[in-house]
Amino acid sequence: MTSAGQHLLDLCDEVLARAREAGATAAEAYAEYVKQTSASVEQNELKGASSAEHEAIGLRVLVGDRLGFSYVNRFDDEALDQAIEDAVAIAKASPGDPANGLVDPLPGKVVKGLWDDALAVLPPGDVVKRTAELFEAARKVDRRVSVDNASFSSTLAHSAVVSTAGVRAAASETAASWALFGMAVDGDEVGSFDAYSAGARTIKDARTAAGAKRFGETVVSLLDPRAGKSYQGKVLFSADAFCEIFLDTLFEAIDGDVVLKGKSRLKDKLGQRVAAPGFLVVDDGAKHGGLASGAFDREGLPHRRTVVLGDGVLHAFLYDGKAARRAKTRPTGHALGSARNLPSIGTTNVEVGAGAASDEELLRELGDGLWVGRFSGNVDGVSGDFSGVAKGSFLVEKGKRTAPVKETLIAGNVFDGLRHVLACGKQRHQVMATACPWVLVDGVDVTAGT
């Protein structure tokens, strides 16, 4: 236990005691301290650096089965008393709900790899240096690469959660994150933009050069796009595009709260095949060094490894305490959020099972068609219908990516698409906390612009 963690635990104890005095019958306090140092490049020039410290507390109170929540980013007595008064007043003004309550504590295992001493004390000069290196690595690929924005940040965070139901936990973690956003400009021609972002738990793992080089190569390759071809059939999705269209929608559909409210197409499908045979999706918030790993979830329960889809069969819905009470089941350790919000259900580190084919073999299997790099569009989380523009995407001819396409729209349905996954690549690409291969999906509408 760090002294910072103990300080936050003590603060939570004090706030809970005061909340009880103010009329709460039960309460939970989640306190956090975050320090972030970052630097940014804008319009191809180092703009500046920043240093921010943030402390805050989120207070959930119950008056019987009535719920109130308040947040404040100051720890002085006046601010805390006002936050307690607000939370209790909201609870008293709200109707009751038997699902309102606090979770009982559960033992968890230690999650390793979330702290790095060197990253915790990284000075502003080093953050600036890494930002400049990130930017320069992208620019040196080609003089036409234009970086609208690049940034590198180091973050250290301490958090604690204490409840009158017996939850009491504190943790500390570090993270580095970096991002590039820009396009290629060649005379009068402005290419399609692209973005690259990644993160690491230790400074040793904060390797930015390879990703920056790929970003530079990508934006240059998107110059001089041509019209695509209209067809219905197989489309090969990059990890980014598959995550945005398919995985995000899948996870919305297995959110226990969404299921309970009847808004999920998968609400009656537990134990049934909902994706192609062999298709595997796992969520693991306890993964060693995972970007989305944590010692506990927003309610103080341990994260765990959850097989969501195994061999295409739906194995699990995800629950926080409230949804679990409504569904008469147990929470799964998927309560996410910060001090600023009530807990909500979400995923952590996601892995899609790798297949047998190399990326080149997947392109050959596609033959003639579309490789989608990025998706700019809309997915209806209820129906699963999606439609949007294939950005950063390429025409595939005779198994090879031949030219970037412009104004090419794709449309389909996520749940139909999951059943029509033809193949997954054997190489998984990291999209922040998600590891996903390229995925070949059948039955997608492609409409080419002119």
User: Of 305 and 340, which CB lies nearer to other proteins in the complex structure?
Assistant: 340
CB of 278 to other proteins, least distance (A): 26
Q: Which residues, 6 or more positions from 361, have their beta carbon under 8 angstroms from its beta carbon?
A: none
Q: What is the C-alpha separation between 292 and 150, in angstroms, rounded? A: 22
Q: What single-letter amino acid sits at 112?
A: K
Q: Specify the residue, 201 or 374, whose C-beta has the smaller distance to other proteins.
A: 374
What angle do helix axes 209-221 and 124-139 make, rounded to 10 degrees?
40
Angle at 99 between CA 96 and CA 101, to 5 degrees: 90
Output the smallest distance, CB 441 to other proteins, in A: 16
Cβ proximity to other proteins: between 35 and 168 the closer is 35
Q: What's the closest the beta carbon of residue 190 comes to other proteins, in angstroms?
A: 4
CB closer to other proteins, 131 vs 172: 131
**Residue 207 identity:** R
Q: How far apart are CA 106 and CA 103, in angstroms?
A: 9
Q: Least Å distance between CB 431 and other proteins?
A: 18
* Beta strand 350-352 pairing with 281-284: antiparallel
Shortest CB 299 distance to other proteins, Å? 14
Cβ atoms of residues 57 and 30 within 8 Å: yes
- Ramachandran quadrant class, 324 (left: phi over 0; alpha: psi -120 to 50; beta: rest): alpha
Q: Give the nearest distance from C-beta 55 to other proteins in angstroms.
A: 7
The Cβ-side half-sphere exposure at 171, using a 13 Å CA radius, reads 22
- Nearer to other proteins by C-beta: 131 or 306? 131
Residue 72 or 206: which CB sits closer to other proteins?
A: 72
What does the alpha-carbon distance between residue 435 and residue 58 come to, in Å, rounded to a whole number? 32
Q: In the complex with other proteins, which residue's Cβ is closer, 323 or 350?
A: 323
Shortest gap between Cβ of 388 and other proteins (angstroms)? 5
> What's the closest the beta carbon of residue 264 comes to other proteins, in angstroms?
9
Task: Give the span between the Cα atoms of 287 and 273, in whole angstroms.
Answer: 27
Q: Minimal distance in Å, beta carbon 245 to other proteins?
A: 13
In terms of Cα–Cα distance, which of 392, 386, 354, 355 is closest to 372?
Answer: 392
Q: Which helix (H) or strand (E) holds 146?
A: strand 145-163
Q: Which is nearer to other proteins, 74 or 112 (CB)?
A: 74
- CA dist., res. 240 & res. 432, Å (int): 10
Cα–Cα dist 144/131, whole Å: 20
State which residue, 115 or 193, has the beta carbon closest to other proteins: 193
- Residue with smaller CB distance to other proteins, 117 or 407: 407
**Which residue number, 383 or 430, has a Cβ lying nearer to other proteins?**
383
The minimum distance between CB 327 and other proteins, in angstroms, equals: 14
Smallest separation, CB 201 to other proteins (Å): 23
Do residues 244 and 375 touch, judged by C-beta distance below 8 A?
yes
d(CA 415, CA 199): 30
Helix (H) or strand (E) holding 213: helix 209-221
- For residue 396, what are the CA distances in angstroms to 233, 301, 362, 392, 438? 13, 47, 11, 13, 14
Could you please report the per-residue DSSP string of 329-386?
S---S-EE--TTS--EE---SEEEPP-SB-HHHHHHHH-SEEEE-EEEEEE-TTT-EE
Task: Give the C-alpha separation, 218 to 190, whole Å.
Answer: 14
